[in-house]
Chains A and B, each alone.
Chain A
Amino acid sequence: MATAIKYTRPTKGLGLSNVLFWATVFSWPISLIFVLMAGDDVNLKYSQRIFYYHLPANIMCFLSFMIYFIGGIAYWRTRNRKWDIVMVAGLELGVFWAVIGIITGAIWARYAWGAFWTWDPRLTTVSIMMVVYISGVMLRSSVEDPTRKAALTAAFGIIGFVNVPLVYFSTRWFPKGEHPIIFGGDSGTPVGLEGFMFLTLGVCFVAVGLLFGWMLLARIRLGQMHEELQSRRMALEGMENE
C-alpha cells in the first residue's frame, strides 16, 4: 500500500497511474466487444449482459472496503496520516462501486423478478452495509479535528467491515433468497457460467479492475494534495505569527 502511495505522484513518463489509465482505455472497448459477442442466456435473454459489469462492480466494492479496513488497522497501529488517505480512498470508492452495483442490480431485477427491489437477503444486507458506510462518510465530514477525524474513520472502517462478508455469504447462508449465486453455486461447477460467458466475465473483471486501480491511485493522489495544502496552510500561519 505504501508503494501504491509512492507511485501516485504525478509522472509524465511510464508511471503506474499512466500505465493503468492507458490499459483501462484499451481494455474497456475490448470488454464491450466480448459482451456483444457473448450469447444470450436461455431465461434471462439479453438482460444477462448486465451481470458482466454488475458482478465486477460489486467485487470492487468489497475490495475497496477491504482496503478501508486494512487502512483502518494500519492507522490504529501507526497513527500515520498516510493511512488516513488510504482509508478515505477505500471508503469513497467502496460507496461509489456499491451504488453502481445496487442500481445495475435493481435494473436487472426489474426484468428478472418484475420489481426493482425486494427484501431478498443479499439486497437487505447490501442496504445495511450502505447505511453503515454512508453514515461513516457523514460522521467524518462532521468532525473538524484531523486526528479525531482519522481515528473515527479508522474505527468505522474496522467495525463496518463486519458487514462485508455478511453481504457476500448472505446468498449461501440464506438460500431461500432470489439472488443467483455465481461462484460455487448449485450448478456443480466453481462458476455458474460456461465457456465464452465465463471468458467474457473474466475480460470484464480485468477492465473494471484496471479502472478501479487507476481510480484508487487518483483518489490517493487527491488525498495527498489535500494533505499538502493543509501542511502549507499551517506553515504559512506559523510564518505570519513569527
Chain B
Amino acid sequence: MANLAAILAQTVTPPPSQEQVSSGLIYVIAAYAVIWLFIAGYLYTIQRRQAQLKRDIDLLREEEERQKQAFYRSGQ
C-alpha cells in the first residue's frame, strides 16, 4: 500500500512554481483549458443530440413506411 501511495504521489502534477504564478502563465493555462473543455463539451453534446434525433427520425420513417404498406395491403 505504501508503495502504491508513493507511485501515485509521483504521478500527481507538481504545484506551479512561484515564477509560473507570478508571470501569470498558470492562469493562462487554466483559462485556455476551460475554453477548450467547454468547446469540446458543447460540440460533443450537439453531436450526441443530432445522432439521437437522427435515430428517432429514422425509426419514425420506418414506422411510417410500415403503416403505408399495411394501408395499401388492406386496400387491396
Interface residues of A (CB under 8 A from B): 40, 44-50, 53-54, 57, 96, 99-100, 103-104, 107-108, 110-111, 211, 215, 218-219, 221-222, 225-226, 228-229, 232-233, 235-236, 239-240
Q: How far is the CA of A111 from the CA of B68 in the complex (A)?
A: 66
Q: How far is the CA of A85 from the CA of B60 in the complex (A)?
A: 21
Contacts of B68 in A (CB 8 A): 239
**Among B28, B46, B49, B57, contact of A215 (Cβ-Cβ < 8 Å):** B46
Q: Is the CB of A45 within 8 A of B24?
A: yes
Q: Is the CB of B32 within 8 A of A99?
A: no
A236 in contact with B63 given A57-B35, A211-B39, A222-B53 (CB within 8 Å): yes
Q: Is B30 an interface residue (CB 8 A)?
A: yes
Contacts of B53 in A (CB 8 A): 222, 225-226, 229
Contacts of B49 in A (CB 8 A): 222
Interface residue tally of chain B, by bracket?
20 to 34
Q: How far is the CA of A45 from the CA of B50 in the complex (A)?
A: 42
**Among A47, A104, A225, contact of B34 (Cβ-Cβ < 8 Å):** A104
Q: Is the CB of A46 within 8 A of B46?
A: no
**Among B32, B46, B60, contact of A53 (Cβ-Cβ < 8 Å):** B32
- Chain B nearest Cβ from A189, distance in angstroms: 24
Q: Is the CB of B27 within 8 A of A50?
A: yes
- Chain A nearest Cβ from B66, distance in angstroms: 10
A46 in contact with B31 given A100-B38, A225-B53, A226-B53 (CB within 8 Å): no
- Chain A nearest Cβ from B70, distance in angstroms: 10
Sample (20) of A-B pairs whose CB atoms are under 8 Å apart: A44-B24, A46-B28, A50-B28, A53-B32, A99-B38, A103-B34, A108-B27, A108-B31, A222-B46, A222-B50, A225-B50, A225-B54, A225-B57, A228-B57, A229-B60, A232-B60, A233-B60, A235-B64, A236-B63, A239-B68
Q: How far is the CA of A96 from the CA of B34 in the complex (A)?
A: 12
Q: How far is the CA of A35 from the CA of B39 in the complex (A)?
A: 18
Contacts of B34 in A (CB 8 A): 100, 103-104, 107
**Among B39, B46, B71, contact of A218 (Cβ-Cβ < 8 Å):** B46
Q: Which residue of B lies closest to A101 (CB)?
A: B35
Q: A46-B23, A229-B56, A239-B67 are in contact. List 9 more A-B contacts (CB 8 A).
A: A46-B24, A46-B28, A99-B38, A104-B34, A108-B27, A221-B50, A236-B63, A239-B68, A239-B71
